[in-house]
Structure 1
Amino acid sequence: MTTSRLEDLDEANLSPAQKVIYDQILSGPRGIVEGPLRVWLKSPKLADKAQALGAFCRYDTNLPPRLSELAIITTGAVWRAGFEWAVHAPIAIKAGVSPQIAEAIRLGQEPQFEAEDEAAVYAFSRELHENRGVSDATYQRCVAALGEEVTVELVGILGYYTFISMTINAFHVPLPAGASDPFPAK
């Protein structure tokens, strides 16, 4: 990946508005201010709203972490957002997504699922990203596996992590230290 397009935030010189949001993120469930969150802090009002939505999407939906992280890495792979993949692929595997499924998603191959809920989340996620909508069959499959409320939350996760991935790609957010590029140029 190329060099970041923005100068990194200097925590010692944050504006009062940036400092409030920075401290909220740091003291929240993430415990770290990294990647796209640092970009958003260039606009504290955006960062405030975005990080609050992100905290809900990552920690408070009714999707179990295994399915939430599956949706997140699917989104990261669609967008080829290296930072996102480097952070969330290990979390997804720890949450129960098989390494083989994660690798197939990274490579853009069709994963072989054993669990119907995983297959439904993946199919819904891929179809929504690729087609900008989902067929009735895919929708019904997802609702059958998750229910309506959780399907709505899944769309929220997909939208939020698309926003994350767009931020990563638009501003060339660097990979975490020591991570290799999961999506090298073809």
Structure 2
Amino acid sequence: MLVSGGAAGVARRRATMARVKPIVNREDVAPEHHALFDKLAALRGRISGPSTIVLHSPGLARPWNEVSEYLHRESLVEAPHAELAVCATAREKDCGYIWNAHVPLARKAGVGATTIDAVRDRRSVDGLPSAERAVILYVRQLLQNNRVESDVFDELLKAHNPAWLVELTSWIGRYQALAGILNAFEVTPNAPAEVLPAAPRAASGKARPPLPAPRVTQISRRDQVPEPHREIFDAVTEGRGSVRGPFGMLLHSPPYCRRHLDVSTYLRFKSQVKLESKELTIIATAREKDCPYVWAAHAPAARKAQVSDAAVIAVRDRADLTSLPAAERDVIDYVRQLARTNQVAQPVFDRMRAQHGVTGLVELTCLTGHYGIVSAILNAFEVAPAPDAERLDP
């Protein structure tokens, strides 16, 4: 879906307090979770940002945080590229919290003021250093059009390797997910903070159908994975029978794949969100991200979970939701609003909280973010479903 220009997500002033009580003190969690709280607090000196929300689901918080720890401590992506990608993602998602947290880190990593200003003001990247230009275009194209043009993809792949590009894509998807949490729950930066200006999106390519073949070799055999990491291949196949879909790309970076798998396992099989709401969230995310693979994998699963045919069709066709049952309508509307406007209207948020509880809503928000990461990998690397799979047209 091609996103039109405009100031989506900055049209109204953010609330000054989060929509749920942020978890910042040890006493905010049950005693059995004190060790987890202490571990997370020790990493950065305190609990802040997305963690204050995700800790409402302690079972999810552990694997969720381990993804961040890998990216920040072990990622193949060098700090200048990673922090620039995070800032560009924050700008696309109109997330003031991430912007204010990471612009200083980008500057410290050597990203120049001209580049940061171009990202903030959504200006053309012409004239910027080629490496910075490519990273910004990659973010803009992936988040605005759900695809990356071949010249941009190939430039980064040639300069690096598949594992590096998998991790860069995961940085973008990860911070898109974190922005979703912060925006949905209205977690704002502490004053004084730079306010992201309203600005039309810079041109970043165009919407197009997927390409017919993956852009890099998919990993499907154990011998394609380095010996020290083959247990990660085994962990993927244990739960799924084979390596397919996003894991064929994620296994180019086995250590990151392991952490992604742990989050996926929790959200799919341990989350307190009811199965029908989970599957509806996943297909609504697939539609917003124009991801044929996720749609083909989960539309049948949604029907099996008792999601109504009317809801599946409404999601697929981006149709009006008025005639749907309230529970289905609100889930779809929540995902749509977060994806399209980077915010959620208060009545929708309140109904979702009443329906799912705080923990359930946190997990559902993380679920749409997680499948945003999955869709980013599949779309950027052009992984298509089987030819006879259920179609999702642009």
| TM-score between both structures, scaled by the size of structure 2 | 0.44
**What is the correspondence of 1:24-63 to structure 2 with a 5 Å cutoff?**
24-28=39-43, 30-63=44-77
1:6-40 deviation digits (Å, cap 9, x = unpaired):
11225142213542332222222x33321111110
Match of 2:139 in 1: 125
Query: Highest CA radius of gyration, 1 or 2?
Result: 2
C-alpha distance in 1 between matches for 2:127 and 2:42 = 37
Match of 2:267 in 1: none
Larger mean CA deviation between 14-23 and 151-160 belongs to 14-23
C-alpha distance in 2 between matches for 1:67 and 1:185 = 23
Instruction: Name the amino acid aligned to 2:60.
Output: L
**What is the correspondence of 1:98-109 to structure 2 with a 5 Å cutoff?**
98-109=112-123
C-alpha distance in 1 between matches for 2:127 and 2:116 = 11
1:91-134 deviation digits (Å, cap 9, x = unpaired):
10111111121122111112345432222222211111111121
C-alpha distance in 2 between matches for 1:185 and 1:21 = 40
- Specify whether residues 108 and 83 from structure 1 end up closer, same or farther in structure 2 by C-alpha distance, changes over 3 A only: same
Match of 2:356 in 1: none
**Pair 1:140-2:154 in alignment:** yes
**Pair 1:93-2:117 in alignment:** no
Match of 1:78 in 2: 92
Larger mean CA deviation between 92-101 and 16-25 belongs to 16-25
Partner of 1:120, secondary structure, is helix
Partner of 1:108, secondary structure, is coil
Instruction: Name the amino acid aligned to 1:21.
Output: L
Stretches of structure 2 that go unaligned for 5 or more consecutive residues are: 1-13, 201-394
Please say if residues 25 and 33 of structure 1, whose CA atoms lie closer than 8 Å, have aligned partners that are also in contact: yes
1:62-94 deviation digits (Å, cap 9, x = unpaired):
111111000000000000100000100111011
Structure with greater helix percent? 1
Stretches of structure 1 that go unaligned for 5 or more consecutive residues are: none
Please say if residues 24 and 47 of structure 2, whose CA atoms lie closer than 8 Å, have aligned partners that are also in contact: no
Larger mean CA deviation between 136-145 and 71-80 belongs to 136-145
Match of 1:22 in 2: 37
Partner of 1:42, secondary structure, is coil
Instruction: Name the amino acid aligned to 1:20.
Output: A
Instruction: Name the amino acid aligned to 2:64.
Output: A
Question: After TM superposition, where is structure 1 displaced by more than 4 Å over at least 4 residues in a row?
Answer: 183-186
Please say if residues 117 and 146 of structure 1, whose CA atoms lie closer than 8 Å, have aligned partners that are also in contact: no
Aligned residues: 185
C-alpha distance in 1 between matches for 2:145 and 2:69 = 27
- Specify whether residues 151 and 25 from structure 1 end up closer, same or farther in structure 2 by C-alpha distance, changes over 3 A only: same
Larger mean CA deviation between 176-185 and 162-171 belongs to 176-185
- Percent identity of paired positions between Structure 1 and Structure 2: 25
**Pair 1:173-2:193 in alignment:** no
Please say if residues 73 and 88 of structure 1, whose CA atoms lie closer than 8 Å, have aligned partners that are also in contact: yes
Please say if residues 138 and 153 of structure 2, whose CA atoms lie closer than 8 Å, have aligned partners that are also in contact: yes
Q: Taking CA–CA contacts closer than 8 Å with sequence separation of 6 or more, which of the two structures ends up with the larger relative contact order?
A: 1
Over the aligned positions, Cα root-mean-square deviation in angstroms equals 2.0
Please say if residues 72 and 157 of structure 1, whose CA atoms lie closer than 8 Å, have aligned partners that are also in contact: yes
